[in-house]
Homo-oligomer: A and B are copies of this chain.
């Protein structure tokens, strides 16, 4: 039986999602719990994609196969009882054997949380990026719109990335949501390159600080030159927000 689970995690104390030797990772913690539940039989989980050290998830999706006779409705509680307190299972459902958490992704949404204002919110230091200086949100929105569409995102991909194939991706939506001094950047697309969201936000912040003009985005995309784009934002403001699959996968 194949199960799909939507999970959230606080990235602060993880060396990212993916298993690495001698590191605390999300995948390793979940597989450790499944190993115990399956009486010391290893169960491998597959996620929609990895997240880096310090990056959070609100709607990460995983799948795994099990032969346990636990009712689907009881899986959520069983997992949450055994998982550490920085991982939480939102829900679990049975899916067809054909469902694949990575290959079947139709669209992903990431969100990046920012705070602009003179006083830092220390309680949120691991959950948002703080800018002492105010950001020009109107300008940032103008720049953000230009990412929508199908582009070669080489300029917005970490230089040390070892992506196979091309760097052409489709962004379907970008928006800044304002709430007082808090600012949430939402970006949706069919696929994202390594560090792509963090470099896009880094470039937009420079637009917000009037260090660049909103009109530059097109040129940077065309240049395919990583050094033309802005800095990579720190991981703590980034959340894998939602992963969308086709209806047939439900």
Interface residues of A (CB under 8 A from B): 8-10, 56, 80, 85-88, 90, 119-120, 122-123, 125, 127
Contact = CB atoms under 8 A, between A and B. Distances in A.
Task: Say what secondary structure dominates the interface of chain A.
Answer: mixed
Give the most central of A9, A120, A123, A127: most B CB within 10 Å: A123
A88 B80 CA distance: 34
Q: How many protomers of this protein does the assembly include?
A: 2
Contact of A85 (B80, B85, B119, B125): B125
A85 B125 CA distance: 8
B10 A87 contact: no
A123 to B, nearest CB: 6
Contacts of A80: 120
Contacts of A87: 122
A127 B122 CA distance: 12
Contact of A119 (B90, B119, B123): B90
